Amino acid sequence: MQYQPAELENYPGYHIRRLQQIAVAVFMEETEEFGVTPVQYASLSAVLRQPGIDQRTL
């Protein structure tokens, strides 16, 4: 019997990873003019929600 690799589409993890890749691509497209990465955006959002937060706490 010959080994048959599993179809990736049968694994939930494959779809989760693809959704993450698509979400990042859409994010990068939408924020391209600002040159902001997802991590930078998350940091800026945290500062906006918590004015005066220090770098260590952030």
Residue-wise pLDDT for 21-55, tens only, equals: 999 999 999 999 999 999 999 999 999 999 888 88
Q: Which segments of the chain does DSSP mark as H helices, in order? A: 12-30, 38-49
pLDDT over 90 at 18, yes or no: yes
Backbone phi, psi, residue 11, to 5°: -105, 125
At 16 the pLDDT is 96
